[in-house]
Homo-oligomer: A and B are copies of this chain.
Amino acid sequence: MPQFLDTTTADFETRFAALLGMKREDSPDVDAIVADIIADVRARGDAAVIELTAKFDKLALKPETLAFSEAEIAAEIAKVPAAERAALELAAKRIRAYHERQMPEDQSWTEPTGAMLGWRWTPVSAAGLYVPGGLASYPSSVLMNAIPAKVAGVERLVVVCPTPGGVVNPLVLLAAQIAGVDTVYRIGGAQAVAALAYGTDTIAPVDKITGPGNAFVAAAKRRVFGKVGIDMIAGPSEILVIADGTGDPDWIALDLLSQAEHDESAQSILITPDAGFGRAVAEAVEKRLETLERRAIAGPSWRDFGAVIVTRDLSEAAALSNRVAPEHLELCVADPDALSAEITHAGAIFLGAYTPEAIGDYIGGPNHVLPTARSARFSSGLSVLDFLKRTTLAKMTPEALKAIGPSAEVLAKSESLEAHGLSVRARLDALNEGEG
């Protein structure tokens, strides 16, 4: 059974603070190992990548087999059942349609002095997407990372995906093909991140690296940040459900378990003003845990990090949720739109009883790469903006420079930056002379 909290009890604040501050993840210190791997790849390129892949993935590669060939991809993809292909294609279509609406517009305007101001957006030239191998090799994540990049207009999009022992998930290759990925490299770990950031003879460097990974991948992304852009350092997954007690407890139980089954360090929280409903959901979770395939993962997650919090009312529930700033928030209440208006911090909101979070993981359209570990307080899920950058524009006319230049000169002098002031003054003097 998970923790039960009640906002009317004296120890609530202490217990809620403990819940917020709970350390759910061991972060092994792999930084020194990762630093060595990156230095090795920078120094020896392909040779280092190939050696490290042989060591960690038990896979012998040559420069010419680092990437999957077209024939290999076709052979793997042919194994995918039609129903799975159709589902992936529908998901891709819906994700693309959602993200196309995110494309921001360029702006420019002219001031009365004739000065033009504005900005324009341009895509990152090349992006690399990290796809984990093994169990966490999710084709849905390929779509969620690759489609926003393609919508943004990224010219060259590559995937790195380790294939320990040579085993690959055909659905990952199919998802990459559907999303328009140019090349898939069968490498992973810190060596793949280093190759993407610095390039090798075979692998051209990219400008941005996104996608989830283990501690080595996370440490490598943190290290190459600055040389290239990265998305975020993902933590274990979370769901928070606010329920008013009108729904089926079993539905909520399954929603809570759909986070818990990801990872023993995932966190599932139910907040409800209906204590009886809270107990009913907890009982439904226990019942489902008896048979769930991944009960060995979901069980510990629910017992160690799960919580049921009983509040005075729904507004108090919303206020608590804002303090959690959950990655996923379900509003299983009669009027989800009204409650949604009270939410200030959440990665994604799923409104109403017919929107299980799993819809958002696969097929709703919004991105499933979302801010974890309370970072929805200050960051957003993946979007086309992650693959675009904004260049600001300014064009002064002589009249505009005469109007605002003197103030720039005053500020430059106040900051003791003489050349800044002179660069304005030289032009103003020439303009004044021209008039004299």
Shortest Cβ distance from residue A192 to the other chain B in the assembled complex, whole angstroms: 18
Interface string of A201-237 (1 = CB under 8 A from B): 0000001100000000000000001101100010000
Give every chain B residue within 8 A of A229 (Cβ-Cβ): 375, 377-379
Give every chain B residue within 8 A of A248 (Cβ-Cβ): 426, 430
Q: How many copies does the complex hold?
A: 2
Give every chain B residue within 8 A of A88 (Cβ-Cβ): 411
**Distance in angstroms between the alpha carbons of A132 and B74 in the assembled complex:** 57
Let me know if A396 and B352 touch, CB within 8 A.
yes
**Which residues of chain A (135-164) have a CB below 8 Å from chain B?**
135, 138-140
Let me know if B391 and A358 touch, CB within 8 A.
no
Let me know if A98 and B84 touch, CB within 8 A.
no
In the complex, which of the residues B117, B349, B366, B378 contacts A124, with contact meaning CB atoms closer than 8 Å?
A: B378
Closest to A401 in B: B354
Let me know if A336 and B390 touch, CB within 8 A.
no
Interface residues on chain A, number (Cβ under 8 Å): 122
Q: Does A288 contact B (CB under 8 A)?
A: yes
Q: Does A319 contact B (CB under 8 A)?
A: no
Q: Does A340 contact B (CB under 8 A)?
A: yes
Q: Does A77 contact B (CB under 8 A)?
A: no
Give every chain B residue within 8 A of A366 (Cβ-Cβ): 117, 119, 392-394
Interface string of A334-361 (1 = CB under 8 A from B): 0011001001111111111111111111
Q: Does A182 contact B (CB under 8 A)?
A: no
Q: Does A312 contact B (CB under 8 A)?
A: no
Q: List 8 A-B contacts (CB under 8 A).
A: A87-B407, A88-B411, A251-B423, A251-B427, A255-B423, A337-B395, A349-B392, A359-B396
6 nearest CB pairs, A to B: A229-B378, A366-B392, A351-B395, A254-B423, A87-B407, A257-B419
